[in-house]
Amino acid sequence: MKFLVCGGYGFIGSEFIRNHFEYNPNDEIINIDNLSLGSNKLNLETIENNPNYLFKEGNITDIEFVKNLSKDVDAIINFAAETHVDRSIANPKPFLDTNIYGTYSLLEASKKFEKLFIHVSTDEIYGDLEKNAKPFLEIDNLKPSNPYAATKASADLLVQSYARTYKTNCIITRCTNNFGPFQFPEKLIPKTIIRAHKNLKIPLYGDGNQLRSWIFVTDHVQAIDLIAKKGISGEIYNISSWNEISNRDIVEKILQKMEKSVDLIEHVDDRPGHDKRYSINYEKIKNELGWSPQFNFESALEKTVEWYLNNSKLWEPLVNEQTLHPQPWTLNWK
């Protein structure tokens, strides 16, 4: 197969490319990336000379650029997105541009050339879940709580409209929180590891009891690979793993693995509209496509901590005051 991967220098997109070539060395991949915040060329240095890999710098909002690269591929996979909630609170505009208009651009290319379009979404579009409520199903209503989640929800609805109105071959995936090597430093797990490594305080929003499900990034991209081969057009697939864990428990686990004191934890003001719990049911992809997570959470977290401690040359250039700021939304949100 030949894929057009959008956002291939980001955390999840680059993992998809590396993992896909490992198991499908004869496939071809074109990577579109605009090299903005969150992109890192070092993420793909191990495959940059692969003759079946091609990088094209550009923005998915550029419809003609996208169409020209979509003609000869079998599938378009959209990892490209503005994803950081705090930044969306500070400035929603880039999130509207990339997450909504960018998705429209890719849908137009998919429609014109009749290509499979896999839209990588998020569990955050379902919004807050009560403590004792059952995990969200694919058919549940969308209740986004912040500008990031709202733009992703808007994109999902746009994809569904193309599937129904134009019969475009579209599939939506909604995944829970990812972690693993190569993740951008501003996210919770790498930020915790890096700040602990530097003996800096670890900022924790509010009481730190916000509940999240976590999945190792390799499990996520292998699910997407399976969906590209066996997924049903027009369907939505939740992708998740393990039991829910509070943000505070995650931070404490990391500190324990690094043999650092919990005294490094510093509670900071909660962010506006902060969801207390995310949880999604992944029985559909398990029952219909035979996918289930393969990585043990504790060992995957240990592997992640070790990677950051042993690969500072890959993440140190990305670290600055803004990426590690305890509360990025306070930089410019009022």
Q: pLDDT digit string (tens) for 178-223? A: 999 999 988 999 999 999 999 999 989 999 999 999 999 999 999 9
Total-model pTM: 0.94
With cut-offs at 50, 70 and 90, classify the pLDDT of residue 84: confident
On whether residue 60 sits in a domain, the answer given is yes
Residue 314's pLDDT is what? 86
127/136 Cα distance (integer angstroms): 10
Q: pLDDT digit string (tens) for 268-291? A: 888 888 889 999 999 999 999 999
On whether residue 91 sits in a domain, the answer given is yes
Does 130 participate in catalysis according to the annotation?
no
On whether residue 318 sits in a domain, the answer given is no
Average pLDDT, the chain: 93
Determine which one of 28, 82, 123, 244 is catalytic.
123
Is the pLDDT confidence value at 308 over 60?
yes
With cut-offs at 50, 70 and 90, classify the pLDDT of residue 334: very low
Does 148 participate in catalysis according to the annotation?
yes
Using CA atoms in the order 22, 26, 27, 31, what is the torsion angle rounded to 10 degrees?
A: 70
20/306 Cα distance (integer angstroms): 23
On whether residue 258 sits in a domain, the answer given is no
Is the pLDDT confidence value at 328 over 60?
no
Residue type, 98: T
Q: pLDDT digit string (tens) for 95-128? A: 999 999 999 999 999 999 999 999 999 999 999 9
- Cβ within 8 Å of residue 182, ≥6 positions away: 11, 14, 15, 40, 43, 314, 315
219/236 Cα distance (integer angstroms): 17
Is the pLDDT confidence value at 332 over 50?
no
User: 300 with 170: CB under 8 angstroms?
Assistant: no
Strand 211-212 and strand 245-246: pairing?
antiparallel
Is the pLDDT confidence value at 325 over 80?
no
The CATH number linked to 128 is: 3.40.50.720
Give the Cβ contact number of residue 322 at 10 Å. 11
On whether residue 284 sits in a domain, the answer given is yes
- Contacts for 23-28 with beta carbons within 8 Å, 24 or more apart? 23/225, 25/52, 26/52, 27/1, 27/2, 27/3, 27/52, 28/1, 28/2, 28/3, 28/52, 28/53, 28/54
With cut-offs at 50, 70 and 90, classify the pLDDT of residue 94: very high
On whether residue 112 sits in a domain, the answer given is yes
The number of distinct structural domains making up the chain is 1
Q: pLDDT digit string (tens) for 230-252? A: 999 999 999 999 779 999 999 99
On whether residue 331 sits in a domain, the answer given is no
With cut-offs at 50, 70 and 90, classify the pLDDT of residue 147: very high
Instruction: Give the domain range for residue 10.
Output: 2-184+214-244+274-295
The C-alpha R_g of the chain, in whole angstroms, comes to: 19
Give the Cβ contact number of residue 244 at 10 Å. 19
On whether residue 326 sits in a domain, the answer given is no
DSSP of 187-216: SHHHHHHHHHHTT--EEEETTS--EE-EEE
Is the pLDDT confidence value at 52 over 60?
yes
Residue 6's pLDDT is what? 98
Determine which one of 124, 156, 219, 275 is catalytic.
124
Helix axis angle, 247-257 relative to 188-197, nearest 10°?
Answer: 40
Determine which one of 9, 53, 126, 148 is catalytic.
148
Residue 87's pLDDT is what? 85
Is the pLDDT confidence value at 167 over 90?
yes
Q: Is 202 exposed, middle or buried (0-12, 13-18, 19+ CB in 10 A)?
A: buried
- Cβ within 8 Å of residue 7, ≥6 positions away: 13, 32, 33, 39, 60, 78, 79, 80, 81
Does 123 participate in catalysis according to the annotation?
yes
Is the pLDDT confidence value at 38 over 90?
no
